[in-house]
Amino acid sequence: MTEPSSSTSARFRPPAIHQVKVEGFFGTWIETLAATTVHTLLDRCIQAGMLDQIDPARPNPGLRIPFQGGNSTVSTQMFWDSDFGKSIEAASYTLARHPDPALEAKIDEIIDAYARLQAEDGYLNSWYLRIEPGKRWTNLRDCHELYNAGHLMEGAVAYFHATGKRRFLDIMARYADYLCSIFGTGAGQMRGYCGHPEVELALVKLGRATGEQRYIDLARFFIDQRGQAPHYYDAEAAQRGDDPKDYYFGSYEYSQSHEPVRDQRRVVGHAVRAAYLYAGMADVATEFADHTLTPALGALWDHLTKKNLYVTGGFGPSAHNEGLTFDYDLPNATAYAETCAAVALVFWASRMLGLGPNRRYADIMERALYNGALVGLSRDGTRFFYDNPLESRGAHHRWIWHHCPCCPPNIARLIASIGTYAYGLADDGIAIHLYVAGEASLALPGGPVRVRLETRYPEDGQIAITLLPEIPQTFTLSLRLPEWAQGATLTLNGEPAALTDQVQDGYIQLRRQWQAGDRLELDLAMPVRRLHAAPEVGANQGRVTLMRGPLVYCLEEQDNGPALNSIRLNSSGLMRCDAVDELGGIVTLAVEAVRERPDKEEDLYTTNAKDAAPVTVRAIPYYAWDNRMPGEMLVWLREC
């Protein structure tokens, strides 16, 4: 294996949560999170019994009822620490926007419980300290110990940035110090890694927040060890008396540990685990300028986006393994496309941008964000999707809670922290990846720079950017030019700016000495586009889907009546955009079509062509479906 560079210089890093104030489209969502969702998350976690499990001051919940997917009899969950960690993270991001003493007190109560739980050596895991004590580190393959640690670390970093309180951060730093002593290549250390990648991302965040390089080094260790021979999970299984071949998922492809990460070229296995791993690889590549990871990351990205990605930015069609099957397997009605997978894809894409602005990654980040991820949360902030089909006969709906409640806090923490995904900051430049209304306060070596962004995006593509450096300074401003934005125009201080020679990797690169008040106006055309699937995707042949800007559209029964598959779009029919107040003023599409009117007395199969009558159908953004009356939904539409 080639040894990575020893350099630790980063390229583009995201700003911290308190550096970006979000308004507009996502500002409205964050208001809902602050008022409703984060309270709902913490309350439902506590109602489920999570605080009973972690707090040694409470009676031990013990082993009670059968646990799905295993031989144990438990009503508690070994991954509950992760749900608390993500919920605290989401709530912390809203606290950075809206101080809420009651919410802060609730989080402090949970942190107090974790302080009481933490072992003297720093170890912190409610399952192995209260439910199955004495078994720590005996089953990294299946039991989520490091995954739980990662989400708690991310929650601690978020809470520190939001409130300035260090207690949770210090608790998790103490745990990370313990991990650094346990895992490594030294004598007596473990060369293991988690079956569910995630801790790698958290260690990088923790290292950045605390300035402790050893945490980032540990993230690199976990990446480097994965899939190495002899296989750690084989030895681990034998040590606990199990046959390594007796594995429910059969292959280590399930956890992307089937081969060393630098040898991997195909996205396989559990979708969320895959994207978390690749995000961790990208973080390590950025932090260490490790170009040995670049070929694998590029090939994995291409394999996913060119052969296995839903048009919504979701991936993983199978409920069996919550993940990948074979190339071009993209069914609609049975699509699993877990919300967490789309969220994790946003994480991965964002970290790929750490290597520099590149539309290849940012466009997919935006697609997954606005469609496959955002659909996971209802407009009122109280109900959630776990899996996300692209067609429904009317039986698929959001739920209040789930026995595996990973998706609700995951989508909440993503939306609440969206400002950190919108920008990238390097020593000599600022990149704007997402056009999120609001203001960022960023620090360059030449001094602080405020960036004011005004837009109604994604309602329209008009974006005004005002730069307010404290003193004039020279740097490169990179603006993403989405692939779908044909015919975009840009002005600088009212004068047209030529784009031809200034676009690199899909970003407009503007280098100059910036003065306070410099104003850019970017206009991205947003025509409605008809997308066709590759011929290998059999389910979508003869069908199209509609997109406008970053949004995928669908039909709902409430607007168009039942039997949505009886509708065929005219190949050259007119389309117009309307605003609909009942869904928060979103832009809907009115599209010319025909509806087949079969004779109900005809046989199931007939030689008679069906009569068809002209009709205008309404399409709404995919993220907004199932917010009104229940009914059918369809993304891929038949075309005349």
- Find out whether 20 and 93 touch, Cβ atoms under 8 Å: no
Residue 402 has what pLDDT?
Answer: 82
pLDDT score of 67 more than 60: no
> pLDDT at residue 339 above 90?
yes
What is the C-alpha to C-alpha distance for residues 144 and 153, in angstroms, rounded to an integer?
Answer: 14
- Pairing mode, strands 567-569 and 637-639: parallel
For residues 338-342, average pLDDT: 98
Burial of 79 (0-12, 13-18, 19+ CB in 10 A): middle
228, pLDDT greater than 50? yes
Other C-beta atoms lying within 10 Å of the C-beta of residue 58: 14
> How does DSSP assign 320-339, residue by residue?
TTTB--STT---STT----H
DSSP state of 136: T
**DSSP-derived secondary structure letter, 400:** S
The alpha carbon of residue 360 and the mean position of all alpha carbons in its chain are separated, in whole angstroms, by 17
Amino acid residing at 454 = E
Q: Which two tokens stand for residue 460?
A: 């329209």
The answer to whether 333 touches 586, Cβ cutoff 8 Å, is no
Q: Which two tokens stand for residue 19?
A: 């550096």
pLDDT in tens, 468-480: 999 999 999 999 9
Q: Give catalytic residues, as residue numbers.
A: 322, 406
Average model confidence (pLDDT) across the chain: 93
The number of beta carbons lying within 10 Å of the beta carbon of residue 158 is: 29
Measured distance CA(32)–CA(380) in Å, rounded? 7
For 536-588, the pLDDT digits (tens) are 999 999 999 999 999 999 999 999 999 999 999 988 878 889 887 778 889 99
pLDDT given for residue 10 in this prediction: 52
List, for residues 514-530, the tens digit of each pLDDT value: 999 999 999 999 999 99
Return the higher-pLDDT residue of 550 and 71: 550
> Is 70 exceeded by the pLDDT of residue 375?
yes
Distance of CA 494 to the CA centre of its chain: 37
Residues 6+ apart with CB under 8 A from 479: 432, 465, 490, 507, 508, 510, 520, 522
In tens, the pLDDT along 417-436 reads 999 999 999 999 999 999 99
CB of 441 within 8 A of CB of 463?
Answer: no
Q: Is the four-CA dihedral 503, 432, 488, 303 of positive or negative sign? A: positive
| pLDDT attached to residue 606 | 78
- Please confirm whether the linkage preceding 331 is cis (ω < 30° from 0): no
Domains (range + CATH), the chain: 19-422 (1.50.10), 427-523 (2.60.420), 531-639 (no CATH)
**What count of other Cβ atoms lies within 10 Å of the Cβ of residue 558?**
18
pTM of the model: 0.95
The secondary structure of residue 235, as a DSSP letter, is H
Structure tokens at 71: 């031989």
Q: Within 383-426, where are the H helices?
A: 407-416, 418-422
How far apart are the C-alpha atoms of 551 and 418, rounded to whole Å? 17
In single-letter form, the type of residue at position 110 comes to I
Q: How far is CA 65 from the centre of its chain?
A: 32
- 3-state DSSP call for residue 592? strand
Residue 586 bridge partners (DSSP) = 580
User: Does residue 162 contact residue 92 with C-beta atoms inside 8 Å?
Assistant: yes
**In one letter, which amino acid is 616?**
T
Radius of gyration of the chain (CA): 25
In the block, residue with structure tokens 């430049």: 429
